């Protein structure tokens, strides 16, 4: 019989929950003068975006696709200030659902820029959150995605280091230590999101104790992919978008399985996976 240990904090983080709830309110708030559009996919979760699309939410990939009269939803990752200014100059309504934690990083970067620091952002340069953070740093910003990149860093100006909220503590520490070895004057702001860090710690701990790990979440969700990578480091791991991806025959071969989910995974998706496992005879425990 397979025992499945479930992370009791798996599922939507506070920022995603807030963005979905607020967008739902906008969509049910009666007729709007134009379309309600999210700038980029609101969350990396097909089920949620399909449900919101049914209520009328459209998604645009570029600001050029926004029309006058539209209401533009800014998602949790935030956007660069120049894009926000461009939107506010237009005949559009802006509903800003940037996560408050990301907003605090924006404010921290602006404050350090005023103090004359060069801004170092540790994260993925292609991630929308990092593009937003870099926008607040202006000409003073640089993105570092791994410690080895610090070797070629020759600027001697004082630096302020910030983290993309969803990276691993290990990556942040490695980059900070690499800069410390350069002997630069440094101000370090640990801006990692506790929601994400707790989940990463959970899977790091439990994936060592079990025979296999299940990670539920969108294939394009960066925090879900990180959970999967951490679990894979310690043994067999499976990244599922939902119950349809579950290979029950294979999973039930393992006596002990750990299960968690990314920050944009709906509770209903987790419940569907658990129901399928239970129906096949697995025992579920929450830790």
Binding site for ligand SF4 (CB under 6 A): 13-16, 76, 99, 101-102, 165-166, 193, 195-196, 263
Name the catalytic one among 129, 149, 185, 253.
Answer: 129
Whether the CB-CB separation of 45 and 52 falls below 8 Å is answered with no
Reply yes or no on whether 129 is catalytic: yes
Of 212, 246, 248, the C-alpha closest to 228 is: 212
Compute the least distance from the CB of residue 98 to ligand SF4, in Å: 9
CB of 11 to ligand SF4, least distance (A): 11
Residue 5 · residue 285 · CB < 8 Å: yes
Comparing CB distances to ligand SF4, the nearer of 70 and 129 is 129
Strand duo 141-144 + 186-188: pairing: unpaired
Q: Which is nearer to ligand SF4, 170 or 247 (CB)?
A: 170
Alpha-carbon distance of 137 to 132, in angstroms, equals: 9
Q: Which residues of 199-213 are buried (b: 16+ CB within 10 A; e: fewer)?
A: bbebbbebbeebbbb
User: Hey, what long-range contacts does 242-248 have (CB within 8 A, 24 or more apart)?
Assistant: 242/47, 242/216, 242/269, 242/272, 242/273, 243/269, 243/272, 243/273, 243/275, 243/276, 246/214, 246/273, 246/276, 246/277, 248/276, 248/277, 248/280
**Closer residue to ligand SF4 (CB): 13 or 147:** 13
Residue 164: closest CA among 191, 144, 146, 137 = 191
What is the helix (H) or strand (E) element at residue 5, kind and residue range?
strand 3-6
Active site residues: 129
């Amino acid at each position: 019989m397979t025992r499945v240990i479930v992370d009791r904090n798996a599922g939507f983080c506070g920022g995603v929950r807030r963005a979905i709830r607020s967008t739902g309110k906008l969509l049910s708030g009666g007729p709007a003068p134009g379309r309600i559009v999210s700038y980029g996919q609101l969350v990396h979760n097909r089920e949620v975006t399909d449900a919101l699309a049914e209520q009328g939410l459209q998604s645009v990939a570029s600001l050029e696709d926004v029309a006058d009269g539209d209401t533009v939803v800014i998602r949790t990752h935030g956007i660069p200030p120049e894009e926000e200014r461009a939107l506010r100059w237009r005949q559009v309504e802006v509903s800003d659902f940037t996560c408050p934690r990301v907003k605090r990083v924006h404010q921290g970067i602006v404050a350090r820029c005023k103090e004359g620091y060069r801004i170092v952002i540790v994260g993925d340069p292609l991630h929308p959150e990092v593009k937003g953070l870099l926008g607040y740093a202006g000409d003073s910003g640089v993105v570092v995605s791994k410690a080895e990149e610090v070797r070629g860093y020759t600027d001697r100006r004082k630096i302020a280091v910030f983290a993309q909220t969803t990276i691993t503590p290990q990556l942040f520490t490695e980059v900070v230590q690499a800069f410390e070895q350069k002997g630069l004057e440094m101000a370090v702001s640990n801006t990692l999101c506790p929601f994400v860090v707790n989940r990463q710690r959970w899977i790091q701990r439990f994936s060592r104790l079990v025979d296999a790990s299940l990670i539920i979440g969108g294939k394009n969700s960066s925090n879900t992919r990180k959970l999967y990578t951490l679990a894979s480091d310690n043994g067999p791991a499976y990244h599922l978008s939902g119950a349809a991806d579950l290979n029950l025959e294979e999973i039930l071969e393992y006596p002990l399985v750990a299960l968690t989910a990314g920050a944009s995974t709906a509770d209903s998706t987790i419940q569907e996976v658990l129901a399928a496992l239970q129906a096949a005879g697995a025992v579920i425990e929450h830790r």
